[in-house]
Amino acid sequence: MGRTGRETESAKRMLRREFLAVRNTLTADDVREAARALARHALELPELARARTVAAYVSVGTEPGTLPLLDALRARGVRVLLPVLLPDNDLDWGVYAGESSLTRVRHSGRMALLEPAGERLGPHAVTEADVVLLPGLAVDARGMRLGRGGGSYDRVLARLEAADAHPARVVLLYDTEVVEHVPEEGHDRPVQAVVTPSGVRRFS
């Protein structure tokens, strides 16, 4: 690509600001409606139909909503793992036991996150997942995902690779966040599919 690592990170930061600015214009009704559509399309994925364990996350603010999908998976009998942010930005995991089991946790310098209140299973629990649902801000035509920049999911993907675990990797986004190109670094890994309110797009 001819960019230094610093230039790539700078380009990512600029893109993150742009996508977040658009998300911040969404109303609560926009987010709710999109969440229902996301759940409907995601549940049609063969990978989720076969899955016994899914690693997911709880959306906050104007992120593409995940709660309808989490509840539908749980109703199917799927074991849903949710992340717990650790002080070093790594992720521990707990089992989703319904919306009432979530606790709001404010981490220093970040927005409050909704995390599972139950037993902690350890960072390696994610290696048991058949599907990993990833947060993001954009994905490009190659399946390269633009994350928020905290590095938590880079660690998750590296952990899966180290464990020789190969769950399906799926990102949940709004339609306008599927773009031609996002900058990538050496540690970035593509996803197999993106789910948006209008449908599913797969990447080879």
Residues 116-166 have pLDDT tens digits of: 998 999 999 999 999 999 999 999 999 999 988 788 998 999 999 999 999
Give pLDDT tens digits for 19-29.
999 999 999 99
Return the C-alpha torsion angle 3, 11, 186, 184, nearest 10. -110
CATH assignment, 5-202: 3.40.50.10420
**Mean pLDDT score of the chain:** 92
Q: Give the mean model confidence (pLDDT) for residues 6-28.
A: 90
Q: Is the pLDDT of residue 186 over 80?
A: no
- How far apart, in whole angstroms, are the C-alpha atoms of residue 143 and residue 199? 15
Q: Give the mean model confidence (pLDDT) for residues 36-49.
A: 96
26-58: buried (b, 16+ CB within 10 Å) or exposed (e) per residue?
beeeebeebbebbbebbeebebbeebebbbbbb
* Amino acid 1: pLDDT: 42
- Nearest CA to 191 out of 177, 36, 73 is that of 177
